Amino acid sequence: MMQHYDIVIIGAGPGGLAAAMSASEAKCSVLVVDDNPLPGGQIWRHRVFSQLPVVAHKWINGVFESKFVTVSSQTKVVMFPQDKQVLLESPDSAKVVSFDKLILATGARELFLPYPGWELPGITGAGGLQSLIKGGLPVKGQRIVIAGSGPLLLAAADSARKAGAHVVAIVEQASMKSVAKFSVNLVRWPIKAIQSISLIPKRYWTSSYIQSVSQSNKGFEVAINKAGRIRHIECDRVACGFGLMPNIELPLALGCEVNQGCVVTDSFQRTSAKDYYAVGEVTGIGGSELALLEGQIAGYHASGNPKPANALLKQQAKWQAFADLLKKTFELGSSLLQLAKDNTLVCRCEDVTFERVKQYANWREAKVATRCGMGACQGRICSGAAQTLFKWQPPVPRPPFTPTRIETLSLIGSGDK
Ligand SMILES: Cc1cc2nc3c(=O)[nH]c(=O)nc-3n(C[C@H](O)[C@H](O)[C@H](O)COP(=O)(O)OP(=O)(O)OC[C@H]3O[C@@H](n4cnc5c(N)ncnc54)[C@H](O)[C@@H]3O)c2cc1C
């Protein structure tokens, strides 16, 4: 028998968890699917639960304690075999599940832009470094350069310092004027102002970006363009990410309207596809507070309980204003699009250079002709880079959305295995 849920939620970050808890208040049966080993999403990624902030305890404990919510971790979405059905695969099982409503809470990932040397081992994203540290990577005593753009650089630097690393420089492409204006405006969101005080950075270079990285006897030598002048720094590790980009592959596959890389929703988080909602950073980068509010609004609305959803709209608007300010402050400068040289790799999995990729008109053509995006990361890194560098439209993915076992695919049209 195929399992049926009133609501299926994809993503167990703040947005997905809040949606699940709110929907459970109306006694709806809810399935939360996430590909990570534990719920919490990016911000509450953890090994030791007690080290998470209290707000995370509330939402994560909430879903485990609710008799209406089932959490399926380490579970990948393979495809949507029919309308209102999803094929799921976990390490030891696979199943097709049907649902009445779907809430997409797939979050965002880091945006990488290629520069000479970015493919060297030891170079990660800024959030990537933070995730590795949260996963136990030892960085004690290491000299680290953190670069790119956005508040995630400060969060990553804080995690690195707490783990005993020496953060040599935080290299932010936005100007001091923009960052200062942003900081002053934070008084409108006191919780963010307090957070920013705890993260006040040392060695924070604005109007600066990494131009290239090379290996040296003592680790890496990083060339940094600081307001037009090149400075060289030695370090053991480089962590560079240019902000976040929404994970819109599943919404695109479902035909949801997307604008400027974000899923379009109405005020109740409904997408253009009937009975499909989207919440959190898949609808735009705005932080966990906005994701929690959007998750609650969608959870209440999808479970036929619009009154509490309505009551949250004002708060949602306040945090949407924070998201808008974030976007304006850390908008990427055009010089970043010139960093890749002809021989710089764009696709690190399949060794495809910038020179080869730039010959094509769109991602699909480049992929077919060069194999870019066909390697281990399945384009999760290079397709974002290509969209930014060449202004290409995000590709609509074709199923299966992830490498899948053959016996999982044999379930299409049948039931559980
Ligand atoms: C690497 C990284 C580090 C970050 N660190 C911080 C930080 O230190 N401090 C901070 O304030 N903010 C941080 N952020 C931003 C923060 O994560 C977001 O503001 C917030 O978590 C957004 O919540 P969300 O629910 O929208 O998405 P997320 O928290 O991103 O959750 C989305 C979840 O969906 C899962 N998922 C996505 N696609 C699929 C799929 N196809 N199948 C199954 N599961 C799927 C993901 O694995 C993830 O668990 C970070 C973001 C990133 C990308």
* pLDDT tens digits for range 257-287: 999 999 999 999 999 999 999 999 999 999 9
Residue 32: the pLDDT is 98
Tell the CATH superfamily of the 3-108+245-326 domain. FAD/NAD(P)-binding domain (3.50.50.60)
For residues 85-90, average pLDDT:
98
pLDDT for 115 beyond 90:
yes
pLDDT for 68 beyond 90:
yes
Give pLDDT tens digits for 126-142.
999 999 998 899 999 99
Comparing 228 with 202, the larger pLDDT belongs to 228
Residue 416: the pLDDT is 52
Q: Take residue 344 and report the two structure tokens written for it.
A: 């710089």
The domains spanning 3-108+245-326 and 112-242 adopt the same CATH topology: yes
Give pLDDT tens digits for 15-53.
999 999 999 999 999 999 999 999 999 999 887 888 899
Residue 195: the pLDDT is 85
Residue 328: the pLDDT is 97
Confidence of residue 415 (pLDDT cuts 50, 70, 90): low
Confidence of residue 198 (pLDDT cuts 50, 70, 90): confident
- In angstroms, what is the span from residue 43 Cα to ligand 1's centroid? 6
The distance from CA 414 to its chain's CA centroid, rounded to whole angstroms, is 33
Confidence of residue 313 (pLDDT cuts 50, 70, 90): very high
pLDDT for 156 beyond 70:
yes
- In angstroms, what is the span from residue 241 Cα to ligand 1's centroid? 15
Q: Which atom of ligand 1 is nearest to the CA of 195?
A: 11
Domain spans of the chain, in order of start: 3-108+245-326, 112-242, 333-417
- In angstroms, what is the span from residue 371 Cα to ligand 1's centroid? 28
For ligand 1, atom 10: residue with the closest CA:
43
Q: Which atom of ligand 1 is nearest to the CA of 109?
A: 53
For residues 51-78, average pLDDT:
96
Residue 189: the pLDDT is 95
Instruction: Pick the range with the lowest mean pLDDT from 94-98, 109-113, 192-196, 222-226.
Output: 192-196
Confidence of residue 385 (pLDDT cuts 50, 70, 90): very high
CATH 3.90.400.10 correct for 112-242: no
Residue 381: the pLDDT is 94
